[in-house]
Structure formats: structure tokens, C-alpha cells
Structure 1
Amino acid sequence: MPQSPNMFNEHMTNSTMSPGTVGQSLKSPASIRSRSVSDSSVPRRDSLSKTSTPFNKSNKAASQQGTPWETLVVFAINLKQLNVQMNMSNVMGNTTWTTSGLKSQGRLSVGSNRDREISMSVGLGRSQLDSKGGVVGGTIDVNALEMVAHISEHPNQQPSHKIQITMGSTEARVDYMGSSILMGIFSNADLKLQDEWKVNLYNTLDSSITDKSEIFVHGDLKWDIFQVMISRSTTPDLIKIGMKLQEFFTQQFDTSKRALSTWGPVPYLPPKTMTSNLEKSSQEQLLDAAHHRHWPGVLKVVSGSKSRM
């Protein structure tokens, strides 16, 4: 076909002539046929390779693009009862944690075009933490806790995040050195949070993103009873409780690490008591960088948002 362009030119010129010359156009197929046969005897390897090149490129591009896909994950958890008993020396004494009626179910849908739909619900019948016989004691009791969350993110659409938490009642009592320093009750609470995004989705690299991006968080909190009883020494006692718990868990972690090091080839390295200011500053910078490694992207989107409260 590429070697015989004259056939198409002659046919087109004959077809555009006046009606009086139709006979001449009807006599031309023999000459056209002989010419096409003579041209067909010429090797056409080059022409075939030339014509097949764009077809192969298109096939390769289509294969690289791939077909769209979608992944759906559905899960469900049903835990009737869980009992955990611990002996936390003289800091918290005998500690018991009881959980019953824990149920959770969810649905996760992810697509190749960056579609994301997540729906999850968590329900808790009762959870109670009781500590007796130590310097720090008390009771925390949570009844009828439910949480429902929904996340929707699609390309070229504003994202949507919703969460609702409903709680029947929560009672807490904190003791320090045998005396109660904090008592409280919080019942029939309902919390709803929903965000509203007004972000430029088509020109995210624009320098004027701060003038075009707004993110609002709408919240609604309702409760029936909220009571707290404190004493004069509640604040300093809470600080002492925090320091004792931190010291206790740090010692337990170091002891467990030393015990596990005897089972394997990993040597145990005791914590350094004295560190130079230079090493401390470098470690703080590394920890700060590791802690904020996920925030640049969020900061880029949230930068310049204004609160209208």
C-alpha cells in the first residue's frame, strides 16, 4: 500500500472529473491492476517495519498503563471477654483489666485511580481498670462506648472525614498514697466531628495556595452529666504519679531488654548516664526529624488556613 501512492492519486483525480469523462475512469482499472502487481514484486520489508512501528508503540504504552483495579477488604471482630491481671510491684500493686462485649467491623475500598473509601465501627460493652495495694491506685470504668468513622477520598473531589462517638457513662477515681485525689463522672456523651475542605485541586503548586485553601472542622458535643471532684493537692499529686509511672515503666523496659539480650547474640547496652550537649542536641534533631517526617505534606495543604471562630 505505501509503495503505490499513484493508484490513489489517479483514482482521486478521475473521480473528481466531470461526468463526461466517466468512461475514461472505467477503463483505468486494468492499468492500475498491472501497475499494482508490478509494484507488489518489490520487497516490502522496509515498508512493513515502518508501518508496524507506531502500532507496536501504542501496544507498549497500553500495556504499561495497565487495567484499572480495585481492592476491597472487609473485616469483623467479636470479643466476648478479655481478662488481664498484672502485679506491678509497689507502684500500682495488683492491677486487673476486664473488657467485655468488644465488637468491630469495617470496610476498606482502594482503587487504582486513588479512590479511597473507609468505613469502620467499634463497639464496647464495658471496660474496667482496677488497681489496688500500691502507691498509685484507683478505678476507671467505661460503659457502652460506640464509635463510627467514615473516610471518603476521590480524585478531583474534596475529601470528607466523619466521626461520631457515643458513650454511656465513664466513672474514674484516682488514689495516691491511700487517699483519693480525683473523682469524676461523665455520662450520656455524644461527639460528632466533620471536616469541610475548600482546597484548589487543580493548581496545587501555585504560590497563592494560602489564599485559596480553607479547611473547617465542625464539631458538636453533648452530655448529660459531667462532675469532677478535686482536692488542694490534686495537681502536684498528679505530677508525682506521672513521674513514678514513667520511672517504673523505664525500669521494666531496661530489665526486659537485659533479660532478652541473654537469649540472643544482641549485646545489652546499659543506658548512658552522662551525655555531652552536642550528642544530645544531635539526637534531639534526629528525633524531631523522625517525628515530623509526615508533616510537610500536611503543612503544604493546611498552610494559610484561617479560623473564623
Structure 2
Amino acid sequence: MNKKITLTGLALLSLSLCLPISSIASTTELGDLQSESMGETRNNINPRAEGILTDPIDFTRIMLNNYGKQLIPSEYKYKGSKAERPNPTIDNFRVLPDGNPVVENQSTLFVGESILTNNTDTPQSLKTNTFAKTITHTISSQVTHGFKLGSDVKASFGIPLIGSTDVTLKTEYSLNSTKTNTDTETYTYTADAQSITVPPKSSVVVNVSLNEAEISGKTKIIGEVDPNDEMVKGNAFYETLGIMLKKKPINASWKNVYKYNVDNDFKIDGYFYDTESQTHNILGSGVYSANYGTTFNVKVSSLEKNVNSVDKTYTISPRVTKNN
């Protein structure tokens, strides 16, 4: 889902056009983010803290302060920059894996067994029954660091399952909520009939079980920012002789403000510039977990223990169908 969001504090446009990134419209200015120390801008928004929703306008506010500082002569004390809220858009929201998933709590579910008897004097290839097992998958996801958006923006994610399986599990992230999202899906795993060679004058028991695993992992939530060519309506402020507060107009577009931060390699937590696609991006995080079936174990054992005894175990891939 590609839903476009507009950063603005001036108006709430219709859903078909664009949506406000922040529901806070009581102010139309980007305020001073300067710390008490001279000329130091706070660039740490702590995007990896859990249960946090960041207003994406914060990234632009930090960039504005970084840009405004270089407009002021070094002998003066930079006090920060203020401007009307810009209206860059954020779209192309996507969710990507963050590291490798972890598989744990593997278990085995009994499915069924067949007894095959060969009463002849020669080995015979006999077939087992077809076995099936129905499993309800529980899929959970949570945004651990999202964004304050003016609408309910969602992004889907295909869980990267490990092992030989035809199962496709997907979950959906609501990017402006840190509540856990839980869905269930029911699948039937089928083990087709197996051909087993049974020694003469003997019987074998074929036991079939399904391996089940729980998988969990982390995700990166990314939104692409377009700062546009709108001119900044604001000023950089500085102090002379410790008493006089003066201002200097910021004669630049928002796109130039973003470019200045990229060119000077300013590190802003929760924001990154992709050099390959040449795009500005905001970064959040999430987690997911799910259970699913992997393979069938087929264990063949002779009922009679003699020179012709059979005792082996092997695995087969299931046939998987999703139930309506």
C-alpha cells in the first residue's frame, strides 16, 4: 500500500489528495531545538526506543537548525531557527527484514500411522495411507517505533519462513500505533501416501509426525520523504554581545535544506539518505512472530525383530493448502 502523507500544519486536505503527517495543528512554526551549549543541535530522537511514535516533522526541524547555523558568522552565538511548517510528502511506506529471523520452540505433532504386512516370500512395495494435519497459525506484529501520522497508514510484510515449506504468511503494520496486531490463518498439511519396501513374511509400522516451529524477528519500517522546492519562510536567530537578538532570513528551499544536511553528512537518528535511489527516508522499527509447519517425519519400524528388520526415519515436504 502506497499512501501519500503531507507534512503540513496549515490545512487538512481531503483523503484523496494528501493527508497531514501530524494531527497537531495548533502551531505553524518549527521551533528552536538548540541546547544550552553554544551552537549545539540535538540530533537524537531515539528512533529505536520501544513504544514510541515520532512526529516526522521533528526530522525537518533538526535539519533546519543544522542549516541555519552555517548562515551565522562564527563570532556570534547561534540561537536556532524558526519557520512555518513545510509541506513535504511521505509515501512509499515499506517494511523490510532487520537481520535474520530466529526459529525456536520447535515441536513435533503426531499425525497418524499405518501398519503394512507382507505375507509373501519376496519383498513387496506397499503404500501407506495419506495423512493430513490442520494447524491454526497465529501471526503477531507490532510497531515498536512508528510515526505520528494524520491517518491510519498500513504496510504489509511477508514473513521470511525458514525451511522447506509452501506456506506464505503475511502480517500488516499500522504505522501510527504501537498496539500488537494478531491474525490467525488455518492451513492443512498433507503427507502423500508413501511407498515402503516390506521384507517377506513381516510387518512394519509407519509413523508420521509434523514438525512445527515458531519464528520471530525484527523489521525496519521506511517512509520516503520528498522535501519539494517550496521556499523556507523563516529566520535563523543569533546573539551579539550576549544581549542583542538578531535574525537572518533563510533564503533557501526545503529541498536545499535537506541537501545541505546530506552533503555535510549530518547524522540524524531515525533519518537516512539512500545514495543508490537518491531518496530521503525516515526509519522506524517493528517485530513479528508466527508458528508454522515445516516437514513431515516418516519413521518406519519392523514389528518383528530379525535379520530382515527395517528401522529408518526420513523427512518429506508437505502439501500445504490454506483453508477458507
TM-score normalized by the length of structure 1: 0.20
More strand by share: 2
More helix by share: 1
Greater RCO, CA 8 A, separation 6+: 2
**Structure (1 or 2) with the larger CA radius of gyration:** 1
